[in-house]
């Protein structure tokens, strides 16, 4: 039997579903029995990660730990967490489980380094940006990157929140002009560093200019299994 992937999800629910779909899409299976067993939890009541990082709001750690324990007790052997901002608490989560816990930030940065990518912009929540989750690793690897300015970052957050509230078209229309603005200053590639962004840009996701962190995480989990 293949190893079991556990999905620590709900941050948000659509991003969790996207990760599940990508597990299926990326698994080289010709029948049901060849697919990888998956146990998924979607706890959308996990406190807001960006609010906790920026303003000291309620920490999501306890609820994430509770979800992690359920996954481990159910037999999950490889954990993925399709939320970039939640990786601010990755170290605390990793030491709390015997399961193999993959890190979406490290995996995505490994992809960037292996491809020799530069002039890359980080599209992410303000929590992920302010916590330097991507920047710290990219600086160590001497990767040239661009952070959206404050106005652009505000629009990115508005786009993410619009999608979370059910308005996918508005989310898309908000985000696309920011991408064009960043291209105009020399950005060549974009990290989809929030797991809602691949869903918002679903119609564009096949373009090579995007590096989909969710996709890279899922592929790594499949390889591990």
User: Do residue 143 and residue 184 come from a single domain?
Assistant: yes
User: Do residue 48 and residue 67 come from a single domain?
Assistant: yes
- Residue 83 annotated in active site: yes
User: Do residue 128 and residue 190 come from a single domain?
Assistant: yes
Rounded distance between C-alpha atoms, residue 193 and residue 206, angstroms? 16
Domain that residue 204 falls in:
105-212
Rounded distance between C-alpha atoms, residue 106 and residue 97, angstroms? 19
The residue from 78, 83, 109, 220 that is catalytic is 83
User: Do residue 54 and residue 28 come from a single domain?
Assistant: yes
Rounded distance between C-alpha atoms, residue 126 and residue 153, angstroms? 7
User: Do residue 150 and residue 95 come from a single domain?
Assistant: no
Q: What is the mean pLDDT of the chain?
A: 96
Query: Helix axis angle, 13-26 relative to 213-224, nearest 10°?
Result: 50
User: Do residue 80 and residue 23 come from a single domain?
Assistant: yes
User: Do residue 112 and residue 203 come from a single domain?
Assistant: yes
User: Do residue 112 and residue 190 come from a single domain?
Assistant: yes
Please state the pTM of the whole predicted model.
0.96
CATH code at position 64: 3.40.50.1860
**pLDDT at position 2:** 81
Domain count within the chain? 2
User: Do residue 38 and residue 82 come from a single domain?
Assistant: yes
Collect all residues with Cβ–Cβ distance below 8 Å to 118 and sequence separation of at least 6: 143, 144, 145, 188
What's the pLDDT tens digit per position in 77-120?
Answer: 999 999 999 999 999 999 999 999 999 999 999 999 999 999 99
Look up residue 201 and give its DSSP letter: T
Closest CA to 82 of 43, 47, 109: 43
User: Do residue 169 and residue 203 come from a single domain?
Assistant: yes
User: Do residue 82 and residue 37 come from a single domain?
Assistant: yes
**pLDDT at position 144:** 96
Collect all residues with Cβ–Cβ distance below 8 Å to 18 and sequence separation of at least 6: 82, 195, 198, 199, 214
> What does the pLDDT profile of the chain (225 residues) look like in tens digits?
789 999 999 999 999 999 999 999 999 999 999 999 999 999 999 999 999 999 998 999 999 999 999 999 999 999 999 999 999 999 999 999 999 999 999 999 999 999 999 999 999 999 999 999 999 999 999 999 999 999 999 999 999 999 999 999 999 999 999 999 999 999 999 999 999 999 999 988 667 899 999 999 999 999 999
**pLDDT at position 124:** 98
**pLDDT at position 204:** 85
Query: Do the bridges between strand 100-101 and strand 78-80 make them parallel or antiparallel, or are there none, so unpaired?
Result: parallel
């Amino acid at each position: 039997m293949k190893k079991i992937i556990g999905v620590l999800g709900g941050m948000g629910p659509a991003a969790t579903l996207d990760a599940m779909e990508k597990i299926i899409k990326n698994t080289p299976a010709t029948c049901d029995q060849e697919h990888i067993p998956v146990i998924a939890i979607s706890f959308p009541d996990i406190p807001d990660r960006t609010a906790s990082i920026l303003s000291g709001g309620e920490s999501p750690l306890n609820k994430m730990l509770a979800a992690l324990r359920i996954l481990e007790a159910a037999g999950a052997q490889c954990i993925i967490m399709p939320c970039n901002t939640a990786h601010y608490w990755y170290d605390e989560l990793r030491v709390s489980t015997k399961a193999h816990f993959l890190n979406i930030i490290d995996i995505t940065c490994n992809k960037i380094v292996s491809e020799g990518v530069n002039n890359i912009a980080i599209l992410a929540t303000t929590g992920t940006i302010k916590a330097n989750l991507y920047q710290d690793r990219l600086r160590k690897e001497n990767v040239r990157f661009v952070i959206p300015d404050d106005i652009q970052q505000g629009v990115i957050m508005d786009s993410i929140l619009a999608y979370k509230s059910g308005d996918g078209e508005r989310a898309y229309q908000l985000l696309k002009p920011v991408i064009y603005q960043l291209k105009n200053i020399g950005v060549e590639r974009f990290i989809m560093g929030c797991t809602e962004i691949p869903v918002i840009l679903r119609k564009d996701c096949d373009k090579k200019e995007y590096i989909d962190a969710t996709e890279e995480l899922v592929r790594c989990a499949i390889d591990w299994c």
